[in-house]
C-alpha cells in the first residue's frame, strides 16, 4: 500500500552513527503483569501534559531508585520519573561533565585509539551487586576505528571509574589481528559501538552491539564483573554486513511470549538519512532472529557489488515500526503550526514495567524543517495478539490504557502508512473514515474491527493489520484523541489519529478564520495561497492586480524608485454547495535600491560602522540566539582591518531584527576559526525555527564535513563549497542570493552556485546572529568586517570585498 509523501532534498548520509540501548535487571527478567481492569465507560484521562524537553542523542535507559535515566552520545544524560517531565543531567565530553571526575583523562586510551575527542552512544546497567556499569565507546566516525570499554560507579549518576577497553575495531595492518585473531575486515567484522546490555530469562548478562560495517553482534558477559566471557572474539553475528546501514540494537525480553525482541535502526541518522525503527524476534538472545514476514535476519546485508551504504538490499527486512512522518495540520484544523511529525526517529531503548507490564519505546528524533535539532521522545508500545510490537502514534502523555467503546471509534482519522522504504521523504497523512458499518472509506478502503477491550483490526488491500486503539495527547489540537497503531504480517505499520468532529458549516468557518493572509499587511515575496483546507474544503483566489499579486500568490514588487502597490486579494472557500469569501488589503513595497544595508567593523565595539542611522548595536548572547546578555562585554582580537569580534565557543552576537527583508541580498564577512564543530554557524538568519539560513564551516556528513550554505525549510537546501574553512587562518566569505540563485565565494573564488534557494526573509522581523542559533554548539573563532547588502553581488564586487 502506497500513500503520498512529501519530497525532501537528498544528500549523502552519515557514515556511522552512535546508537545504544539498555535495560535494568528487574525490568528485563520479571514477567510483566496483565493490564488492570478496564476503566469506566468513556475515557478517564489525566490533565493536559506539560512536557520538558531534553537533548540526549542515542538514548539508553536504566532505572534506578524510582528514576529513569537515559545516557547518550557526547556523554549526555537526562532523568525523569514519569517520561513526561525530564531534567538534563549532563552533556559534552569535557572535564566538567559530572559523570566522570575528568572523562578526558579517564577515557584517554579509548579516545586515543579512536582518534577522536568525543564519545558515542553508551549504555548503563545495574549489576547484581548494585553497582552501575557504563559501556562507553569512541569512534573516528569516518571509519569503524572504535574502542569500547567499561566504567563502574556506585550510583547511577557517577562518578564512573574506567575498568579498561574490552573491544577494539578498525585495526590497521601493523597493529596485529582483530578480536577474533584474523585481520580486521570491515565488511564482516563489527564496528564496536552502540552497546546495549541486558539480562536474559535466566539472569545471564549479554551485550548486543554494532553499527554498519560487519553488522550486529551479541556477546555473553560475566555478570559479576560486567566484562565479556573469554574466547568469544566478537561474538555471534545476528544481522547486517558489507556496510549495510543497520545500527542501534536494543534487546527486550518478554516473559509472556518467551521472545527476545531485537530493535534496530535502519538508514542514516541525520535529517537526510531516512533513519527508521525496525524489530525482529527470536527464542534465544543469540538468535536466529526473524521478522514478521519470516525473513531470517542473518541474511540481511548490503550488496557488495553496489555502492557503499546500499539501502535497497536491506529495505525488505525487519518489521518497520516507524520512520519519517507528519500528521499535518490542515487549514482550519484546531491548533497552530504545521502539525506533528518526526524526521529520522531512531536509536531506541525501552522500558518494560515489571508490575504493570506497560511498555515504552524511548528514542531521539529530528523534526520536519528543523535541520539537525533533536530531542528525546517516549511512546507507549503494545504487543499484538500475534506477539509483535506496535508503537502508539503520539508521544506518551501519562494516559493509562483503557477500554474503548465502538461508537467512539467511528469517525474521521488522519492515517500514516510507514511502508518499508529507507528514504528521506516525509510521509504525510491522508484522510480516512472508520464508518459505523465497519467500512473504511476515504483515501483507502477496507474494513475495521474493535476486538476485546481495545484491540484494533484493519483489513486493507487484502492484508490484515492488528494492534490497539488508545487515547493519546494530540499536541497540535491540544486535546486527547483516539488513535490506532497496527502492523501487518508483512511488517508494515499503520498509524491513525482521530480528528475532532466538525460540521460542514464549522469547517467552512474554520478555514475562513485560518486563511494565511489574516494579519498580513504587506508582501515582500510570494504568498502561500493554499487551495485546500480541512474536511475537503477547496479555496480559489483572485487578485485586483494580478501584475503585482497573481492568483497563484506570485508577487512582483515595483522597482526601485516606483510607488508601493496596494492590492485586494480575495479567497472563495467552498464545501459542497456551501461557500464563504474573505478579502484582504495588502501593500507590496517597492524594491529598495541595491547597496550596503549594514556594516559592522568590530573595532572594539558592536556598533554599526555605517549604513542606516537607526541601525542598532549588536548584543552579546550566551549559547543560544535568544539568550541575550544586554550588559555583557564582547571580546575583540586583531582583525583583517583593525580589530575583530572574538567568540570563545560559548557565546555569539545578536544582530538587529529585520536586517534582511528581501529575496535578493548578500552577506560578506571575514572569518578565522579557532576550531571547527559540526553544524556550528558563523552567520545565521531566520524567519522561524523551520525557515533559516546558515553559513556553517562544517556541514557534517551530508556535505563531507565541508563548509556549506545551509537553509532549513519545507524544501531544505545544502550548498556544498567542496572544502572546509582552514583553522587559524582568515577566509573571506561572500553569500549572494538573487532571483532564487545562491552563490558562495571563498576568498573571491566562486565555490558554489545553485538554483531554487528558498525565500526565507519574507517578513520584516527576521532574527540574525553571528556564531549562534537555537540548537548547535557556538562558533569558536573571530569574525570581522560584516557587511549586508540589498541585492546580490557580482564577481567584481566580491573580489573587491575579498581584497586585503
Q: Do residues 74 and 91 touch, judged by C-beta distance below 8 A?
A: yes
How far apart, in whole angstroms, are the C-alpha atoms of residue 370 and residue 247?
Answer: 24
Task: State the Cα torsion 650-654-660-663 to the nearest 10°.
Answer: 30
- Known active-site residue 58: yes
Coil, helix or strand at residue 25: helix
Distance of CA 158 to the CA centre of its chain: 29
Provide the grid cell at 291.
521478522
DSSP string, 131-148: -EEEEEEEE-SSSS-EEE
DSSP code at position 555: B
* Residue 365: how many other CB atoms lie within 10 Å: 20
Instruction: Determine how many CB atoms are found less than 10 A away from the CB of residue 44.
Output: 12
Residue 258 pairs with which residues in a beta bridge?
A: none
Between strands 325-328 and 123-126, the pairing is unpaired
Nearest to 337 by CA among 476, 544, 160: 476
Catalytic residue among 106, 126, 179, 247: 247
How far CA 43 is from CA of 473, 476, 680, in Å, comes to: 12, 20, 46
> Which alpha helices (DSSP H) does 147-288 contain, by range?
none
Given the DSSP bridges, would you call strands 683-688 and 146-153 parallel, antiparallel or unpaired?
A: unpaired
Give the residue among 174, 294, 306, 317 at the shortest CA–CA distance from 240. 317
Instruction: Give the angle 352-413-51 at the CA atoms, nearest 5°.
Output: 45
Residues with Cβ within 8 Å of 305's Cβ and at least 6 positions away in sequence, in order, are none
Report how far residue 326's alpha carbon sits from residue 611's, in angstroms, rounded to the nearest whole number: 44
d(CA 46, CA 397) in angstroms, rounded, equals: 8
Residue 110 to residues 100, 105, 113, 191, 428: CA-CA distances in angstroms?
Answer: 15, 10, 5, 14, 43
Return left, alpha or beta for 765; rule: phi > 0 is left, psi -120 to 50 is alpha, else beta: alpha
Q: How far apart are CA 308 and CA 303, in angstroms?
A: 8
- d(C-alpha 577, C-alpha 579), whole Å: 7
Q: Would you say 49 and 473 are in contact if contact means Cβ atoms under 8 Å apart? A: yes
Whole-number Å distance between alpha carbons of 790 and 589: 14
Q: Which one, of 244, 263, 374, lies nearest residue 322 by Cα?
A: 263
Task: Tell whether the torsion through CA atoms of 696, 699, 704 and 708 is positive or negative.
Answer: negative
Task: Point out which residues pair with 548 in neighbouring strands.
Answer: none
Residue ranges in 219-286 assigned as alpha helix (H): none
Out of 58, 311, 474, 662, the active site residue is 58
Q: What is the DSSP string of 702-721?
A: GGTT--EEEEESSS-EEEE-
Rg (CA), the chain: 28
Task: Give catalytic status of residue 461 as yes or no.
Answer: no
The residue assigned the cell 557526547 is 74
Could you count the other beta carbons within 10 Å of the beta carbon of residue 601?
21
Cis peptide before 159 (omega within 30 of 0): yes
- Cβ atoms of 301 and 311 within 8 Å: the answer is no
Q: What is the DSSP letter of 389?
A: E
Determine the distance from the C-alpha atom of residue 478 to the mean position of all C-alpha atoms in its chain, rounded to a whole number. Answer: 22
Q: Is 364 helix (H, G, I), strand (E, B) or coil?
A: strand
Alpha helices in 574-657 (DSSP H): none
Q: Which residues are catalytic?
A: 58, 247
Amino acid at each position: 500500500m502506497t500513500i503520498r509523501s512529501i519530497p525532501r532534498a537528498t544528500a549523502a548520509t552519515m557514515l556511522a552513527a552512535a546508537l545504544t540501548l539498555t535495560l535494568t535487571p528487574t525490568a528485563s527478567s520479571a514477567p510483566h503483569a496483565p493490564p488492570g481492569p478496564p476503566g469506566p465507560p468513556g475515557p478517564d484521562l489525566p490533565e493536559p501534559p506539560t512536557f520538558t524537553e531534553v537533548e540526549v542523542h542515542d538514548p539508553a535507559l536504566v532505572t534506578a531508585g524510582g528514576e529513569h535515566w537515559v545516557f547518550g552520545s557526547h556523554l549526555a544524560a537526562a532523568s525523569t520519573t514519569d517520561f513526561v517531565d525530564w531534567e538534563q543531567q549532563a552533556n559534552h565530553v569535557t572535564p566538567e561533565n559530572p559523570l566522570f571526575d575528568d572523562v578526558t583523562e579517564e577515557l584517554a586510551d579509548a579516545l586515543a585509539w579512536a582518534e577522536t575527542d568525543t564519545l558515542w552512544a553508551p549504555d548503563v546497567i545495574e549489576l547484581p551487586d548494585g553497582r552501575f556499569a557504563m559501556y562507553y565507546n569512541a569512534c573516528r566516525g569516518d571509519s569503524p576505528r572504535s574502542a569500547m570499554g567499561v566504567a563502574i560507579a556506585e550510583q547511577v549518576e557517577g562518578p564512573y571509574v574506567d575498568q579498561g577497553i574490552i573491544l577494539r575495531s578498525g585495526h590497521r595492518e601493523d597493529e596485529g589481528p582483530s578480536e577474533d585473531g584474523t585481520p580486521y575486515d570491515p565488511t564482516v567484522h563489527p564496528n564496536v559501538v552502540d552497546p546495549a546490555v541486558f539480562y536474559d530469562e535466566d539472569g545471564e548478562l549479554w551485550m548486543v552491539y554494532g553499527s554498519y560495517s560487519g553488522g550486529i553482534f551479541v556477546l555473553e558477559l560475566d555478570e559479576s564483573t560486567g566484562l565479556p566471557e573469554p574466547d568469544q572474539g566478537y561474538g555471534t553475528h545476528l544481522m547486517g554486513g558489507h556496510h549495510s546501514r543497520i545500527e542501534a540494537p536494543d534487546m527486550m525480553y518478554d516473559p509472556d511470549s518467551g521472545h527476545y525482541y531485537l530493535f534496530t535502526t535502519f538508514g542514516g541518522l541525520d535529517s537526510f538519512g531516512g533513519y527508521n525503527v525496525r524489530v525482529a524476534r527470536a527464542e534465544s538472545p543469540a538468535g536466529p532472529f526473524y521478522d514478521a514476514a519470516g525473513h531470517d535476519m542473518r541474511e540481511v546485508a548490503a550488496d557488495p557489488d553496489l555502492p557503499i551504504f546500499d539501502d535497497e538490499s536491506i529495505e525488505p527486512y525487519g518489521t518497520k515500526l516507524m520512520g519519517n512522518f507528519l500528521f499535518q495540520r490542515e487549514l482550519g484544523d484546531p491548533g497552530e503550526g504545521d502539525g506533528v511529525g518526526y524526521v529520522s526517529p531512531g536509536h531506541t531503548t525501552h522500558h518494560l514495567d515489571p508490575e504493570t507490564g506497560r511498555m515504552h519505546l524511548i528514542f531521539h528524533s529530528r523534526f520536519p524543517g528543523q535541520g539537525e535539532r533533536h530531542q528525546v521522545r517516549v511512546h507507549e508500545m503494545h504487543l499484538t495478539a500475534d506477539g509483535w510490537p506496535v508503537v502508539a502514534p503520539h508521544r506518551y502523555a501519562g494516559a493509562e490504557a483503557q477500554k474503548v467503546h465502538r461508537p467512539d471509534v467511528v469517525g474521521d482519522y488522519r492515517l500514516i502508512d510507514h511502508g518499508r522504504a529507507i528514504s528521506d521523504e516525509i510521509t504525510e497523512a491522508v484522510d480516512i473514515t472508520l464508518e459505523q458499518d465497519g467500512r473504511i472509506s476515504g483515501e483507502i478502503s477496507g474494513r475495521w474491527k474493535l476486538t476485546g477491550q481495545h484491540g484494533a483490526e484493519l483489513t486493507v488491500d487484502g492484508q490484515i493489520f492488528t494492534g490497539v486503539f488508545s487515547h493519546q495527547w494530540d499536541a497540535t489540537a491540544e486535546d486527547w484523541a483516539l488513535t490506532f497503531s497496527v502492523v501487518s504480517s508483512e511488517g508494515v505499520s499503520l498509524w491513525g489519529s482521530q480528528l475532532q468532529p466538525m460540521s460542514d458549516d464549522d469547517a467552512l468557518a474554520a478555514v475562513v478564520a485560518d486563511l494565511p493572509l489574516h494579519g498580513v499587511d504587506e508582501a515582500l515575496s510570494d504568498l502561500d495561497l493554499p487551495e485546500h483546507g480541512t474536511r475537503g474544503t477547496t479555496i480559489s483566489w483572485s487578485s485586483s492586480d494580478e501584475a503585482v499579486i497573481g492568483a497563484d500568490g506570485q508577487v512582483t514588487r515595483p522597482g526601485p524608485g516606483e510607488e508601493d502597490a496596494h492590492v485586494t486579494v480575495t479567497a472563495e472557500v467552498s464545501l459542497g454547495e456551501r461557500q464563504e469569501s474573505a478579502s484582504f488589503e495588502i501593500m507590496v513595497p517597492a524594491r529598495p535600491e541595491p547597496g550596503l544595508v549594514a556594516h559592522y567593523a568590530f573595532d572594539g565595539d558592536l556598533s554599526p560602522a555605517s549604513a542606516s542611522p537607526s541601525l542598532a548595536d549588536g548584543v552579546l548572547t550566551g549559547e543560544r540566539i535568544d539568550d541575550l546578555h544586554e550588559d555583557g562585554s564582547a571580546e575583540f582580537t586583531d582583525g583583517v582591518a583593525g580589530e575583530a569580534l572574538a567568540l570563545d565557543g560559548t557565546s555569539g552576537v545578536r544582530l538587529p531584527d529585520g536586517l534582511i527583508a528581501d529575496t535578493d541580498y548578500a552577506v560578506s564577512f571575514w572569518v578565522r576559526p579557532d576550531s571547527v564543530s559540526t553544524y556550528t554557524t558563523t552567520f545565521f538568519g531566520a524567519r522561524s525555527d523551520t525557515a533559516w539560513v546558515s553559513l556553517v564551516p562544517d556541514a557534517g556528513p551530508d556535505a563531507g564535513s565541508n563548509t556549506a550554505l545551509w537553509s532549513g525549510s519545507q524544501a531544505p537546501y545544502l550548498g556544498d563549497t567542496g572544502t572546509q574553512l582552514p583553522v587559524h587562518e582568515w577566509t573571506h566569505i561572500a553569500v549572494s542570493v538573487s532571483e532564487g540563485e545562491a552563490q558562495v565565494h571563498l576568498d573571491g573564488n566562486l565555490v558554489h552556485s545553485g538554483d531554487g534557494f528558498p525565500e526565507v526573509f519574507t517578513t520584516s522581523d527576521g532574527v540574525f546572529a553571528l556564531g549562534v542559533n537555537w540548537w548547535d554548539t557556538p562558533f569558536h573563532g573571530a569574525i570581522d568586517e560584516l557587511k549586508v547588502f540589498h541585492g546580490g553581488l557580482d564577481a567584481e564586487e566580491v573580489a573587491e570585498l575579498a581584497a586585503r
